[in-house]
Structure 1
Amino acid sequence: MPDKYKNLLDGNIKWSADTAKSNPDLFKQLAKAQHPEFLWIGCSDSRVPATQVTNALPGSIFVQRNIANMVVHTDTNLLSVVYYAVKVLKVKHIIVCGHYGCGGVLAAMSNKNFGFLDNWLLHIKDVYRLHSKELDAIEDEHKRGERFVELNVQEQVNNLSKISFIQEEWNKGEFPYIHGWVYHLGEGRIHNLDVAVNSAKTLSGVYQYEPNS
Structure 2
Amino acid sequence: MCKLDVDKYFANNREWVKTVLGENQDYFQEIKEGQQPKALLLGCSDSRVSPTTVLGTELGELFIHRNIANVVSHSDLNFLSVMQYAVESLEVRDIIVYGHYGCGGIKAAYENKNNGLIDNWLANIKDVIRHYNAELKAIEDEEDRLKRLVELNVLEQIANIKQTSVYRDALDKGLQIRLHAWVFDFSTGIVHDLKKKYNIIPAVH
Pairwise same-fold verdict (TM > 0.5): yes
- Structure 2 gaps of 5+ residues are 196-200
> Measured at CA, do residues 3 and 188 of structure 1 come closer, stay the same or move farther in structure 2, by a change above 3 Å?
closer
Are 2:12 and 1:15 equivalent residues in the alignment?
A: no
Which AA in structure 1 matches 2:112? N
Give 1:174 deviation, angstroms: 4.5
- Mapped contact 2:181–2:193 kept (Cα < 8 A): yes
Please name the residue that 1:67 is paired with.
68
Partners of 2:94 and 2:74 in 1: CA distance: 19
Q: Quick check: 63-72 or 3-12, which moved more? A: 3-12
> Measured at CA, do residues 3 and 177 of structure 1 come closer, stay the same or move farther in structure 2, by a change above 3 Å?
closer
Give 1:66 deviation, angstroms: 0.1
Give 1:197 deviation, angstroms: 5.2
Residues 49-102 of structure 1 show CA distances to partners (whole Å, capped at 9, x for unaligned) of: 122211111101000000000000000100100000000001120000000000
Give 1:175 deviation, angstroms: 2.2
Which AA in structure 1 matches 2:145? R
Which AA in structure 1 matches 2:102? G
Give 1:159 deviation, angstroms: 0.3
Are 2:163 and 1:134 equivalent residues in the alignment?
A: no
Helix, strand or coil: the match of 1:101?
Answer: coil
Superposed CA RMSD: 1.5
Residues 101-125 of structure 1 show CA distances to partners (whole Å, capped at 9, x for unaligned) of: 0000011110322111111111111
Please name the residue that 1:35 is paired with.
36
- Mapped contact 2:83–2:166 kept (Cα < 8 A): no
Q: Quick check: 86-95 or 110-119, which moved more? A: 110-119
Report how many residues are paired: 199
Map 1:81-100; keep pairs closer than 5 Å: 81-100=82-101
- Mapped contact 1:108–1:125 kept (Cα < 8 A): yes
Partners of 2:55 and 2:3 in 1: CA distance: 32
Helix, strand or coil: the match of 2:47?
Answer: coil
Please name the residue that 2:198 is paired with.
none
Partners of 1:58 and 1:151 in 2: CA distance: 30
> Measured at CA, do residues 137 and 2 of structure 1 come closer, stay the same or move farther in structure 2, by a change above 3 Å?
closer
Partners of 1:169 and 1:58 in 2: CA distance: 26
Partners of 1:44 and 1:196 in 2: CA distance: 27
- Structure 1 gaps of 5+ residues are 200-213
Residues 6-47 of structure 1 show CA distances to partners (whole Å, capped at 9, x for unaligned) of: 221221111111112123332111111000010000000111
Please name the residue that 2:148 is paired with.
147
Which AA in structure 2 matches 1:77? N
- Mapped contact 1:170–1:198 kept (Cα < 8 A): no
Partners of 2:151 and 2:25 in 1: CA distance: 40
Partners of 1:34 and 1:47 in 2: CA distance: 26
Partners of 1:3 and 1:72 in 2: CA distance: 32
**TM-score of the aligned structures, taking structure 2 as reference length:** 0.92
- Mapped contact 1:180–1:196 kept (Cα < 8 A): no
